[in-house]
Every structure is written in structure tokens, then in C-alpha cells.
Amino acid sequence: MLKSRTKWKLKEGNTNTEIAADLSKTLNLSSLFIELCLQRGLDSREKIERFIKPDESWIYDPYLMYDMESAVSRITNAVEQGEQITIYGDYDAGAIRSQVKSLCTCL
């Protein structure tokens, strides 16, 4: 495991240690993680579980993006014609690569 170069600091005084200990035990999660959740407004078992295990309701409809239908049509045509596709991304290109792989698998 990589050793962290960052020293985490928690806000002081805002955490109810009794609630944190109870949630930590109930959810079988570290007290540090629970304290971070509490400081970010995740103050119940349900909220923390929803944060840890998100569902499809968290995902925005990609077709809300401008001209998405044209982009999908163009990519579909390129795949069907055996054309090469170049994708530009930032340092988080791993997510883009897996999405394109899924798209090509589906087609």
C-alpha cells in the first residue's frame, strides 16, 4: 500500500463522538470516515449508506448535454465503418477509456 504524503486534519469541536461511535459500530466503518461524513452533513445511517453505495438516481441523463444525439450518432457510424476514434481527456482519462470501451462493446 502507498503511504500517504498528506496529513489529514479534522475540524475540531463539531463532531458528536457518541453519534460517531454508534454509526461506526453499526456500519462497521472506521471512526475517522464517520467523522468526515458527519462533518459533511451525512448524519444518519441512511445518508452514509446512500453515499457509499450510490444508485442510478445519482447519474445525470447524458442526453441533457448539448448535441449529444449527434455525438452518439457520429461515434456509432465510426464504429460501424471501422474508423479509428481519437478521444481527448484530462488526467482522469481512465474513466473516459472505460466508457468508450463499454460503448464499443454495446455496439
pLDDT tens-digit readout, 43-54: 899 999 999 988
Count of domains forming the chain: 2
Which domain covers residue 43, as residue numbers? 17-58
**Pair (95, 78) in one structural domain:** yes
- The verdict on residue 6 lying in a domain is no
- The verdict on residue 5 lying in a domain is no
Q: Are 42 and 48 in contact (CB under 8 A)?
A: yes
Whole-model pTM: value is 0.49
**Pair (47, 35) in one structural domain:** yes
What dihedral do alpha carbons 73, 76, 101, 60 form, nearest 10°? 20
- The verdict on residue 44 lying in a domain is yes
**Pair (74, 100) in one structural domain:** yes
If pLDDT is split at 50, 70 and 90, which confidence band does 26 have? Answer: very high
**Pair (83, 95) in one structural domain:** yes
